[in-house]
Amino acid sequence: MNLLRRITAGWQWFSRAVRESLFWTLLMRQRVIVRWLVTTLILSAVIDVLIAQAVVAMVDDAIVDQAVPLADYVRQIALLAVVRFAVGFLNRQLTVRLSYHMEFELRTWLYSRIQAAELQRLQSVSNGQYVTRSMTDVHLIQEILQYLPVIVGLAPVILGLGIFVLIISPPMGVLALAALPLNLGIVSRFRKRLSALSFADLYERSEVAGAIDEPVRGIRVVKAFSREARERARVRATTDRAFRLNMSRVRLLARYDIPIKAGPVLVNAAVLFIGARLVASGSLSLGEFLIAFQVAGGITILAQLFDELAGGWQYLRSAQTRVASLLALGRRPREGRALPTSATGVALGGVDIAYDDHVVLAGVDLEVRPGELVVLTGPPRSGKSAVAQVAAGLLEPAAGEVVLDGLPIGLIDVAAVRRSVRVAVEEPMLFTGTFRSNLDLGAPWPTSDEEIRAAARAAGADEVIASFPDGLDSPVGERGLTLSGGQRQRVALARSLVVPPRVLILDDALSAVNPSLELQILRRIRAHAPDMAILCITRREGPAALADRVVELPAPAAARLAEPTP
């Protein structure tokens, strides 16, 4: 009774864990393929049982007793084999299609969630973790998923053949299936340790990717300070940790490899010995013995793979957990309301901004109407960039409300917010490619060269582009490193103006540009898009002369406390 209760509890835990897993969610999105796959698995099991019955009859009646012509059984088995091949081929096609569909769904889902995440949460994960979780882990999941349905598909086949053998000879049936619970018990002894080592192994792989990615991206800084040896030592230390963890995992699997491999062989030997005794005593026919021995051989092969299956399964679970943590960074992308046709600008009312439950700005009131240029200034660490993120809908305020064109920004469709509010930052990102490909990113639809050139003129980037021999088709290099800081800023600003947004936020976006040129660019922007609301965040005094209003943020609380009292 206790054993039955434990089995029931274990099954309930397993079924609940499956239903709550990421893979169950992905499987439910492919219901049609899953239904066809289950159908082919059941058909495979039925055909295998029919083949087993035909083989038993052929051996006993046509070969041993010679009471029935052998050709009749050969034709029957050949026909069943052709049907089995067709069903197996369909099963394999469905398995591959299912794995690739699930990978596509997972990558799309992951990308959309990351895009919807707040900047604070995105910055909590290193670049190496992003790279390995979104690429290596997802690919690992896809590879394992190609084989998982095949392994799962063996369950009805083994179950069907096992029941068939149990019916014709209970002792042989029990012996044939004995290798499965034997190796399951062995695997359960090291399952938890293997799970922990698999997760740690994947984590350290991510750290290796990060340790290599950072100095490669910042190679100029590394060389400028002659820190190559330091970075090599850091990469070596990280790879050593990853290697040691991987070897610990390999040693754990190797420790149990011999019993997992030897146990099923001993069971198979027992099947051979007892089966021969039963045949000699007349309790078992030769055909029945042949099928029982073949089933035991198939189960032996499967049971000997339990250590590899356990290793792959733990990698799969660890990868799922790591990918699920990335999915948890972002909210589900919402399909909110459309923006009204008439623009009224952006307004912050009584907004509190907090980081890690610590309020850095309280009671911020700010409004930028269409056609206005509002300058936001303040001392360092006063929260100017945080205001930009809140106004753009990239950061949720702790209190208060952000209104875009008369609607709370949280109710508006995310895509509409991104198209209507653009943020140009101090350290812009240019992608590897040409000027044209980078500027085209600023338009949700195909644009003409004239529109691109007009945006470049407004941002003062036309001179930068003209200085290259191929103009718009000139390469900018990886991350735009062939350009100076001011040139990158102007090209990135032009990208935001190819299709002028309703609201443009300049977060120190021209800090590397000559102050006189900065004023010229601001005038050109207003002429290029006269109805656009512009919020200019800057530490310089020049833009205030062109502004309709100037808003100054107070010094942070820590700075005010540090000021000497008169």
Q: Please check the confidence at residue 564 and state whether its pLDDT lies above 50.
A: no
Confidence of residue 340 (pLDDT cuts 50, 70, 90): confident
Mean pLDDT is lowest, of 121-125, 316-320, 472-476, for 121-125
Q: What digits encode the pLDDT tens for the residues 92-105?
A: 888 888 878 887 88
| pLDDT tens by residue, 534-546 | 999 998 888 988 9
Highest mean pLDDT pick, 107-111, 290-294, 492-496: 492-496
pLDDT tens track for 373-431: 999 998 887 888 889 888 988 888 888 999 998 889 888 887 788 889 999 988 888 88
CB atoms within 10 A of CB 290: 18
CA nearest 496: which of 433, 442, 445, 417? 442
Distance CA 47, CA 32 (A): 23
Q: What is the pLDDT of residue 562?
A: 36
CA distances from 181 to 175, 176, 267, 299, 354 (A): 11, 11, 12, 11, 55
From CA 241, how far away is CA 235, in angstroms rounded? 10
Which two structure tokens, joined as six digits, stand for 363?
A: 């009671």
Q: How confident is the model at residue 227 (pLDDT cuts 50, 70, 90)?
A: confident
The 421-424 sheet, strands edge to edge: 421-424, 503-507, 533-537, 373-377, 549-552
- Calculate the alpha carbon distances from 442 to 48, 372, 436, 445, 474 in Å: 59, 22, 10, 9, 18
pLDDT, tens digit, 9 for 90 and up, residues 59-74: 888 888 777 788 888 8
Segments in 341-397 forming alpha helices (H)? 384-391
| Beta strand 533-537 pairing with 407-408 | unpaired
CA angle 248, 251, 255 (to 5 degrees): 140
pLDDT given for residue 560 in this prediction: 38
Span 103-115, average pLDDT: 79
- pLDDT at position 248: 92
**Cross-sheet strand order for the sheet of 358-368:** 358-368, 346-355, 399-404, 407-408
Q: What whole-number distance in Å separates Cα of residue 543 and Cα of residue 10?
A: 68
- Residues with Cβ within 8 Å of 537's Cβ and at least 6 positions away in sequence, in order, are 375, 376, 377, 384, 385, 387, 388, 505, 506, 507, 508
Q: What is the pLDDT of residues 244-277, one digit of tens each?
A: 998 998 899 888 888 888 888 888 888 888 888 8
**pLDDT tier for residue 555 given thresholds of 50, 70 and 90:** confident
Q: Can you give the pLDDT at residue 68?
A: 79
Distance CA 439, CA 340 (A): 27
Mean residue pLDDT of the chain comes to: 82
pLDDT of residue 561: 33
Mean of pLDDT values over 442-450: 79
Where do runs of H (alpha helix) occur along 404-556?
Answer: 414-420, 435-440, 449-458, 462-466, 485-497, 515-528
Average pLDDT over residues 75-87: 91
- Tally the C-alpha atoms within 13 A of residue 407's C-alpha that lie toward its C-beta: 18
Is the pLDDT at 565 greater than 50, yes or no?
A: no
Question: What number of H helices and E strands is found in the chain?
Answer: 22, 9
pLDDT score, position 559: 39
Average pLDDT over residues 20-35: 80
Angle at which helices 31-57 and 286-304 cross, to 10°: 140
490-509 confidence digits (pLDDT tens): 999 999 999 899 999 999 89
pLDDT at residue 523 tops 90:
yes
Are 293 and 271 in contact by the 8 Å Cβ rule? The answer is yes
At 147 the three-state DSSP class reads helix
Residue 421, phi then psi, degrees to nearest 5: -125, 120
Query: What's the first-to-final CA gap in the chain, in angstroms?
Result: 83
Give 504's strand partners: 422, 534
Whether the pLDDT of residue 22 is over 80: the answer is no
Residue 527 is predicted with a pLDDT of 93
Residue 478 DSSP one-character state: G
- DSSP letters, 319-349, are HHHHHHHHHTTBPPPP--BPPPSS---EEEE
Per-residue pLDDT at 17? 65
Q: How large a percentage of the chain has pLDDT more than 70?
A: 88
pLDDT (0 to 100) of residue 558: 45
Token pair belonging to 107: 């990558």
Question: What pLDDT sits at residue 525?
Answer: 93
The yes-or-no verdict on residue 557 having pLDDT over 60 is: no
Arithmetic mean of pLDDT, 421-446: 85
Lowest-confidence region among 120-124, 284-288, 553-557: 120-124
β-strand partners of 355: 358
The H or E element that residue 92 is part of is helix 70-116
The single-letter code of the amino acid at 257 is D
Paired residues of 404 in beta bridges: 346, 407
Which residues neighbour 312 within 8 Å (Cβ) at sequence distance 6 or greater? 144, 147
Give the start-end residues of each E strand in 48-133: none
Q: Band the pLDDT of 155: cuts 50, 70, 90.
A: low
From residue 532, alpha-carbon distances to 8, 12, 40, 351, 529 in Å are: 65, 59, 60, 23, 6
pLDDT digits (tens, 9 = 90+) for 351-369: 888 876 777 788 889 999 9
3-state secondary structure at position 118: coil
Rounded Cα–Cα distance for residues 412 and 221 (Å): 42
Distance (Å, whole) CA 389 – CA 368: 15
Q: What is the pLDDT of residue 146?
A: 66
